[in-house]
Amino acid sequence: MIKKPFLVLAFLFALNTMNAQELVAPSYGFSHSETAYITLADGTEINGTIKDIDRDEGLIEFIKLQDGAGKKHKLKPEDIKFMYLPPSGLDNLGKKLNFASDFKKWNDEKLNQTYLNDGYAYFETADVKIKKKNSKLLMQLLNPSFSKEFRIYCDPYAKKTTSLGVGGVKFVGGDIKSFYVAKKNEPAFLLKKKDYKKEFVPLWKSCDKVIAENPEPKWTDFTKHVVTYSECAESK
């Protein structure tokens, strides 16, 4: 006989799944045996295995790579245009994407869907506004399957909401509380859960549909707002 508490948790799990943020989980561990694919700022492509990654305050400071010919490279963020890194075995769980989803029409055609479908983490150099200063940083894209009009990047310092689960399995909660976000051709900035209601109208004011459909905006619906905004931007 199925116990009532389990049914309640199962319902909450289903509800959370339906409302889950359709984002790639950030990757922090990377394979040292699988091939990484890096395109430099000058267009040169380097493929090889990762030897070391050094981080400064959560952001990649440099990456050491050995290519197929055995040559070693030490690359700084400013040397790199974009790259696809293979997550480690444990970090790769649940990372594979399905680009046959309803989001397909908002894909950025420049992204390599084969690598992303195989669970690779995608990083790119982006303009990021921190306080009043713009900097070029190497950022991990978390919405590669619908990033054509609006990009969501990992905040390495992001906290999560309290999660509810049984036996180590999360049913609800555990949502990321902040992201770096950028509209097409604009610098990225830090968007926090606690500021979302205040930032909601300034962020989405160019799309009446987002504003009209969300009189009480919820942070858990953030990616739905991104998709609706993408519809608006595509129609203009």
162-177 pLDDT, tens digit each: 554 444 444 445 689 9
Residue 99 has pLDDT above 60, yes or no: no
13: phi then psi, degrees, rounded to nearest 5:
-65, -45
Picking from 5-19, 65-79, 140-154, 202-216, which range would have the lowest pLDDT averaged per residue? 5-19
Distances in whole angstroms, Cα of residue 16 to Cα of each of 74, 139, 173, 180, 194? 42, 27, 8, 23, 20
Residue with tokens 């394979």: 31
Q: Which two tokens stand for residue 177?
A: 């509380």
Q: Which of 30, 191, 52 is nearest to 123 (CA)?
A: 30
Strand partners, 183: 150
How far apart CA 95 and CA 92 sit, in angstroms, is 5
pLDDT digits (tens, 9 = 90+) for 114-143: 898 888 999 999 999 988 888 888 999 999
- pTM, two decimals, is 0.82
